Amino acid sequence: MTYAITQTCCNDATCIAVCPVNCIHPTPEERAFGSTEMLHIDPKACIDCGACADACPVDAIFPVEELTGPQRQYAAMNAAYYADADQQEPPAGSPNFHAWGPPVFDRVLPSDFRPLRVAVIGTGPAGMYAAEDLLLHTSAEVTLIDRLPVAGGLVRYGVAPDHPGTKGIGGTFARFHNHPRVRLLLGLHVGDDVSTAEVAAHHDAVIYAVGASTGRRLDIPGEDLTGSITATDFVAWYNAHPDIAPDAIDLSSTERVVVVGNGNVALDVARILVADPAELAGTDIADHALAALRASKVREVVLLGRRGPEHLACTRPELLALKHLRGVEVTVDAHDPRTADAIDAAGPDDTAALLTGLPRTAVDWSAPPAEGRRIVFRFHSAPVAADGAEGVGAVRVTGRAASADGSDGSEGRGGSDGSDGSEAAIPAGLLVRAIGYRGAPVTGLPFDDETGTVPHTAGRVTGHPGTYVVGWIKRGPSGGIGANRACAAETISTLLADAVDGSLTEPARSTREFRRLARRRTRHLVDARGLAAIERTERARGAREGRTRVKLATVPELVAAARSRRLVR
């Protein structure tokens, strides 16, 4: 029996580090690392030790014989990764098919090197991987800062509630919140409560891991109508983010939603909109979102792609999960012949090949959605405008609509991308823009408006000695949770190199003085004990309702729970 990696793989390579026979690839040293959707276990080399499954922070690794339903496909996906590899039989008595690279010791500091004092701004995956690197490989003292009075970042507020395995990585990060060399300052907004200069004055180095908090714009007429929102806001809404009001999303008055984009976030949005609320009731979805979904009239979600299926932006695991939604039909709009051509021509390793076998329907957009719940992929179609008097009532898109006789309304194959001026109007009361995240400027730091990132060299902020970036604010909104581990490793390597060569200025003031300053500047400061009280409160509320937790959705609620310091019954 061998093991296989499945849908929730986070690519952070923890499993690679513990594999005794080097049978998990690609490794961080290989060119393909970071570009593959997931890691893969070689079934011929696996010795069934289970070390990888024990180490996996997101519960993505299982024995092949225990895979059931859609998960069974991952056994073949793991094996297929090695099918074309140039492998030879292992030496006699050895199970290892894969050559080991030379050992690397890239965290060696002089024995008499004084402990660094480092502030990490942001407690999402990028910030926590940076803190983990410092704590495990150096004697650094770390101040963890977040503008919200609760830790977690993208893990808490960006992962869909029906992906509990992915959220499990939060437990890996949480073990550092009480580390003896960590001080946790939550509810402190750098750039508002304290300045970047004040943080720098109390620390040897400052690492900004503030992510990409805004959504990209479409720049079309009607984009700012009521009912036109970013996927960023929609995801934050169903995850109980304090920045988004519980009543910000109305699902009670429309049967159809148009989602622009077909990446993983777009698929998350579509899946949550048509999911059975009963199946979400056991998750940590926001109470207000669960109530809205129970009263929702939405029956159809249209995923709009400007290009063809060969350019699908989602990963194969996410698309596989979408195809197996219980009680939900997934179909492809057949308005453009190029769509079918691309699906039929897709190779076995192409994401588009997963659309093979789905019904291809000439959708009549003038008719209301059919009974039941449905997700429609519409390719070769870009939004032109959102129409409506008081709010979104329809989305005009390129490409012809189906005619009453069921044809696509075009002759031949020319012009169906809308290049001839053809358009279709899709009636919808909600438009969700899922075309990517974008970083926001950090007060006191340079900012590249074109890329939405802070200019840097290997993580070192340009023109700001002692200041570093990691995660999406460093490299742009690309890569999942695990990609931040390698990103953080690069930044920490740069920081330590600067420390060794004397480029860092020893702080004039202590971290204890900084904590006193923080307490004076904000009434919402939460420490590690307060965070533990929030955790107890949310889990206690969840236990009463048979759920994993019930999230506190506002800053006052979170702060009140932190100050209770006791189990709320």
Q: Is 42 exposed, middle or buried (0-12, 13-18, 19+ CB in 10 A)?
A: buried
pTM above 0.85, yes or no: yes
Which comes out higher in pLDDT, residue 89 or 497?
A: 497
Return the exposure string of 253-269: e unless at least 16 CB atoms fall within 10 Å of the residue's CB, then b: ebebbbbbbbbbbbbbb
The CATH number covering residue 136 comes to 3.40.50.720
β-pairing verdict for 61-63 and 182-186: unpaired
Q: Model confidence over 209-238: pLDDT tens digits?
A: 999 989 999 999 999 999 999 999 999 999
What is the per-residue pLDDT for 92? 57
Q: Are 232 and 215 spatial neighbours (Cβ–Cβ below 8 Å)?
A: yes
Percent of the chain with pLDDT over 90: 82
d(CA 239, CA 272): 11
Tell me, yes or no, whether 361 and 408 share the same domain: yes
**Where are any strands of DSSP class E within 107-227?**
117-121, 141-146, 182-186, 205-208, 214-215
Tell me, yes or no, whether 256 and 397 share the same domain: yes
Band of pLDDT at residue 95, cut at 50, 70 and 90: low
The CATH number covering residue 243 comes to 3.50.50.60
Tell me, yes or no, whether 195 and 270 share the same domain: no
Q: Model confidence over 277-329: pLDDT tens digits?
A: 999 999 999 999 999 999 999 999 999 999 999 999 999 999 998 988 999 99
Within a domain: residue 386? yes
Phi, psi angles (nearest 5°) of residue 268: -60, -45
Mean pLDDT of the chain: 91
Tell me, yes or no, whether 420 and 462 share the same domain: no
Reading the block at residue 221, the tokens are 């007429």
Q: Which among 509, 491, 493 is positioned nearest to 501, based on CA atoms?
A: 493
What is the per-residue pLDDT for 418? 41
The CATH number covering residue 58 comes to 3.30.70.20
Tell me, yes or no, whether 427 and 443 share the same domain: no
Within a domain: residue 531? no
Q: Which among 229, 253, 232, 218 is positioned nearest to 428, based on CA atoms?
A: 253
Within a domain: residue 93? no
What is the per-residue pLDDT for 36? 85
Tell me, yes or no, whether 363 and 446 share the same domain: no
d(CA 128, CA 484): 9
Q: Are 240 and 554 spatial neighbours (Cβ–Cβ below 8 Å)?
A: no
Question: Which DSSP symbol is given to 448?
Answer: B
Query: Above 90 in pLDDT, residue 390?
Result: no
No. of helices (H) and no. of strands (E), the chain: 19, 23
Tell me, yes or no, whether 172 and 262 share the same domain: no
Tell me, yes or no, whether 145 and 205 share the same domain: yes
Q: Tell which of 371, 401, 434 closes a domain.
A: 434
Range of the domain at 429: 222-434
Within 8 A by CB and 6+ apart from 104, the residues are none
* Number of structural domains found in the chain: 3
Q: Model confidence over 11-64: pLDDT tens digits?
A: 999 999 999 999 999 998 888 887 888 999 999 999 999 999 999 999 999 999
What is the per-residue pLDDT for 121? 98
Tell me, yes or no, whether 392 and 315 share the same domain: yes
Within a domain: residue 567? no
What is the per-residue pLDDT for 474? 97
Tell me, yes or no, whether 348 and 447 share the same domain: no
Q: Tell which of 434, 465, 494 closes a domain.
A: 434
Within a domain: residue 253? yes
DSSP symbols for 298-345: --EEEEE-SS-GGG--S-HHHHHHHHT-TTEEEEEE-SSHHHHHHHHH
Q: Which among 436, 439, 480, 474 is positioned nearest to 455, based on CA atoms?
A: 474
Q: Respond yes or no on whether the N-terminal peptide bond of residue 26 is cis (omega within 30° of 0).
A: yes
Tell me, yes or no, whether 256 and 360 share the same domain: yes
Band of pLDDT at residue 565, cut at 50, 70 and 90: low
Q: Which among 41, 22, 385 is positioned nearest to 220, based on CA atoms?
A: 385
Within a domain: residue 28? yes
What number is the average pLDDT over the span 438-443?
93
d(CA 553, CA 253): 24
Q: Are 313 and 262 spatial neighbours (Cβ–Cβ below 8 Å)?
A: yes
Within a domain: residue 537? no
In 371-481, which residue ranges form alpha helices assigned H by DSSP? 472-475
Q: Is 421 exposed, middle or buried (0-12, 13-18, 19+ CB in 10 A)?
A: exposed
Tell me, yes or no, whether 141 and 189 share the same domain: yes
Q: Are 251 and 237 spatial neighbours (Cβ–Cβ below 8 Å)?
A: no
What number is the average pLDDT over the span 453-482?
95
Reading the block at residue 267, the tokens are 């698929």
Q: Tell which of 81, 99, 128 closes a domain.
A: 81
What number is the average pLDDT over the span 553-567?
86
What is the per-residue pLDDT for 569? 36
Within a domain: residue 559? no
